[in-house]
Amino acid sequence: MDRTLILLKPDTLERGLMGDVISRFERKGLTIVGLKMMNMTEEMARQHYHEHVDRPFFPSLKEFMTSHPIVALAIEGVGSVEICRKMTGATFGMKAEPGTIRGDYGISTGCNLIHSSENKEAAARELQIFFQENEVFSYEPAVRKWVVTQEDIDKAK
With residue 76 as reference, give the H or E element that holds it.
strand 70-77
* Residue at 57 is within a domain: yes
Read off the pTM: 0.93
* Residue at 157 is within a domain: no
Max CA separation in the chain (angstroms): 47
* Residue at 120 is within a domain: yes
If you compute the radius of gyration of the chain from its CA atoms, what whole number of angstroms results? 15
Parent domain of 77: 2-152
* Residue at 26 is within a domain: yes
Positive/negative CA dihedral, 96, 52, 117, 11: negative
With bands split at pLDDT 50, 70 and 90, how would you rate the model's confidence at 26?
A: very high
Sheet with 2-8: strands ordered across: 31-38, 70-77, 2-8, 114-116
**β-bridge mates for residue 74, sequence order:** 5, 34
Instruction: Give CA–CA dist 152/17, Å, rounded.
Output: 31
DSSP 40: P
Quick: pLDDT tens for 43-83. 999 999 999 999 999 999 999 999 999 999 999 999 999 99
* Residue at 87 is within a domain: yes
Q: Tell me, what CATH number does 110's domain have?
A: 3.30.70.141
- Known catalytic residues are 115
* Residue at 18 is within a domain: yes
* Residue at 131 is within a domain: yes
Contact 73, 25 (CB under 8 A): yes
Could you give the number of structural domains in the chain?
Answer: 1
Q: Residue 150 pLDDT more than 90? A: no
Positive/negative CA dihedral, 137, 43, 83, 96: positive
